[in-house]
């Protein structure tokens, strides 16, 4: 039995990942630099008042578990 996944067009990156590949997948989907997404996530979690680190980390983990991985672009089978 496989885990359920979200089908919203965003996938976890298999080539540009640090932890789960969520930021890399978001960056690939919107065509932006993955570092900008990672910095934006940190700014969201730490600097913006009213948003704390715990909900941001929980959201990242939830997306890491629910978003499907992208297909390997180097897979030729």
| DSSP three-state, residue 11 | coil
pLDDT score of 5: 60
* Token pair recorded at residue 28: 């690939």
Contact 26, 67 (CB under 8 A): no
Of 15, 51, 17, 54, the C-alpha closest to 37 is 17
- Whole-prediction pTM value? 0.74
pLDDT (tens digit, 9 = 90+) per residue, 6-56? 667 788 888 888 888 888 898 988 999 999 999 998 888 888 777 788 888
| DSSP three-state, residue 30 | helix
76 vs 30: CA distance, rounded Å:
25
């Amino acid at each position: 039995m496989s885990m359920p996944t979200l089908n919203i067009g965003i996938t976890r990156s298999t080539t540009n990942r640090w932890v789960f590949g969520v930021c890399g997948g978001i960056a690939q989907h919107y065509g932006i630099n993955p570092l900008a997404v990672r910095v934006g996530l940190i700014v969201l979690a730490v600097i913006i008042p009213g948003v704390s680190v715990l909900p941001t980390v929980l959201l990242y983990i939830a997306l890491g578990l629910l978003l499907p991985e992208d297909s390997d672009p180097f897979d030729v089978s």
